[in-house]
Structure 1
Amino acid sequence: MSERIAILLCTYQGEKYLASQLDSFAAQTHTDWVLAVSDDGSVDRTRAMLADYRLKWGASKLNLYEGPRRGFVGNFLSLTCNAQVQADYYSFSDQDDIWHAEKLEHAMEWLRTVPSDTPALYCTRTLLVNEENRPIGLSPLFQRRPAFENALAQNIAGGNTMVFNNAARQLLLRAGPLVDVAAHDWWVYLAVTACGGQVKYDSRPSLRYRQHNSNLIGANRGLLARLTRIRMLFKGHLKEWNARNIEALGQLRSLMTPPNVTLLSDFIRARDSALFGRIRKFRSTGIYRQTALGNFGMLLAVIFNKL
């Protein structure tokens, strides 16, 4: 049985850390992989480095495509929906992480247990490192089950940890590369759970996630990150993101399970209701975040109509 994985790497001005990431691909214990790169207009040495690795690995191992110049979400969705990229499984990758050698192998241990016609998504925690690759902690550990009720409220893992099967990719193809969503990884979690797929959240970190000053809130770690997210919530960002996600899910409505169609409709009605009706209807949906603090923040968002 073929188990080829297409690594979907998006690059932009990535020369500083790219070699370490590419070397970590070569060190994978699961060796049946190909690399598809979408470069979004780099003018540094990124493309030259990719050309060098293509020579070293062989032309069949690495293919480079032009990015759409629509930001990182548009770049990832463009690459995910690129018909020239064909494999049995797909793995998102950032340009500045370092994968653990068993990353793909651990993903495949679970993914091969799921029927091929069932959308399946594997994701993990991350080991956080600073710009010098020194460990500074772990991403949050989530312990409640992955589900559509959770996906409507949050994304549980970074795209850089995600590996998914062809059935999941077909959902993303159905919605297309231009779907307007807040984040490509959150969109994958929403699409897979909405359509009755399976999700595995592995507590074992699968990579070293490099933290820069510009992305310290990315890992949702520490008081500063939480305060930043609360500020974004009250500025209305979450309400806007949810509106975009709801619109995008309309593309998959015919593939969603009947209970999830009902749940989505109830969520939409709750968002459109007046205060007391909004609280009552929202509580009846069963939508949840992974932590008590997160659920308290979500309740505030409901009360102030920011959800």
Structure 2
Amino acid sequence: MSHNVAILLCTYQGEQYLPEQLDSFGAQSHTAWSVWVSDDGSKDKTQNVLGFYQQTWGPDRLRVRAGPRKGFAANFMSLICREEIAADYYALSDQDDIWHADKLERAVRWLKSVPQDVPALYCTRTELVDEDGGKLGYSPLFTRPPSFRNALVQNVGGGNTMVFNNAARNLLKAAGPHVKVAAHDWWIYIVVSGCGGKVLYDPIPSLLYRQHAQNLIGANASLQARLDRIGKLFRGHLKTWNDQHIVAMQPIISSLSQDSRSVFNRFVSARQRRLIPRVFGILRSGIYRQTGFGNLGLVIAAILNRI
């Protein structure tokens, strides 16, 4: 049995690199795939590029829909929740990367090992390249296990690497396409890990992740990028994002596992307390980031009430 993958591709002014991204779909060793595109109002030749590939591949292989025009996260969430899309698995895609030929094959191999009724999310490390495809290195290698305790305060999976099953998608649809969240990929990690799902972070890269001036979100690989990230903790960004996620979680609270609900309630309660109970409550909730430096930042953020 060949497991069909719906590739969910969001585009906006993507004409320059889109052909390379689409060609890397065509080169996949796992051939049972179709592409669903949500274009967020491109004014360049993105639609022409999509039209050419639709003509080449056939209308059943590539379909284009209009996006909500409310930013990248809203575009991806609208596509994830589209009722007419049906497949065994769902792979998110940016418009300017280049997938390794075995990307879908590796994801499907692992997802097939998870029972269909268990939410499952596959994601990987990435290989970084510049605008011309020159090698820049790799995204950070995360070594601590993915979990809800980690997901509450950090995302380990780049959306461009994510592939998930129907059980995971059903949870995302239950929360809805209009959730106000920091980023769609972080939200997916929170939901799947929180609701008794399985998350695999594969340390072997699955794609070339293009870094350029137009990147909405970079890979945070350099020391400066990591310092900037920690700085955001102290400036209150994490607190704002947590506020958003707590609101977004409400429709699916009943789907949280017993352990996740306990962690979530402890974390939410601790955030509202005074200094000492807040710091100890947050530590007792068990949340963690992937590095010692990041965890020190969490403690300081808790002291400063920036969490």
Band of TM-score, shorter chain: over 0.9
1:296 equivalenced with 2:293 (yes/no): no
Q: Comparing 242-251 with 32-41, which one deviates more in the overlay?
A: 242-251
The equivalent of 1:158 in structure 2 is 158
Cα distance per residue 1:45-64 (max 9 Å; x no partner): 00011010000001110000
Unaligned runs of 5+ in 2: none
- Tell me if the contact between 2:128 and 2:210 (Cα under 8 Å) persists in the aligned partners: yes
Q: Which shifted more, 207-216 or 280-289?
A: 207-216
Aligned equivalent of 1:14: 14
Query: Could you tell me which amino acid in structure 2 is paired with residue 201 of structure 1?
Result: Y
Distance 2:118 2:259 in 1: 17
TM-score by length of 2: 0.98
Q: For residues 241 and 48 of structure 2, what CA distance do their matches in structure 1 show? A: 36
> 3-state SS of the aligned residue for 2:132?
coil
- CA distance change for structure 1 residues 281 and 142 in 2, over 3 Å: closer, same or farther? same
Q: In the alignment, is the contact (CA less than 8 A) between 2:148 and 2:190 conserved in 1?
A: yes
Determine if contact 2:233/2:298 at 8 Å carries over to the other structure.
Answer: no
Q: Is the 8 A contact 2:153 2:238 kept in 1?
A: no
Match of 1:282 in 2: 282
Q: Runs of 4+ in structure 1 displaced over 4 angstroms?
A: none
Task: Write the distance in 1 (CA, Å) between the matches of 2:229 and 2:294.
Answer: 11
Say which SS state the counterpart of residue 213 (structure 1) adopts: coil
Letter of the structure 1 residue corresponding to residue 184 of structure 2 = H
Please give the secondary structure, in 1, of the residue aligned with 2:106: helix
The amino acid that maps onto 2:156 is: I
Is the Cα–Cα contact under 8 Å of residues 217 and 228 in structure 1 kept in the other structure? no
Residues 5 and 33, structure 1, Cα contact 8 Å, conserved in 2: yes
Residue in structure 1 matched with residue 170 of structure 2 by the alignment: 170
Measured after TM superposition, the shift of residue 194 of structure 1 is 0.8
Q: How far does residue 233 in structure 1 lie from its aligned partner after superposition?
A: 2.1
1: CA distance, partners of 2:292 / 2:227: 16
Aligned partner letter, 1:157:
G
Q: Using the TM superposition, give the Cα deviation of residue 2 of structure 1 relative to its aligned residue in structure 2, in angstroms.
A: 4.5
Partner of 2:127: 127
Q: CA RMSD in A?
A: 1.1
Residue 194 (structure 2) aligns with: 194
- 1:216 & 1:230 partners in 2: Cα distance? 18
Structure 1: any 5+ residue segments left out of the alignment? none
Q: What letter matches 2:259 in structure 1?
A: P
Q: Residues 113-132 of structure 1: CA distance to partner in whole angstroms, max 9, x if unpaired?
A: 00000000000000000011
Q: What aligned pairs does 1:188-267 form with structure 2 within 5 A after superposition? A: 188-215=188-215, 218-267=218-267
TM-score, normalised relative to structure 1 = 0.98
* Deviation sequence 1:94-145 (CA, Å, 0-9, x none): 0000000000000011100000000000000000000110110000111111
Count residues in correspondence. Answer: 307
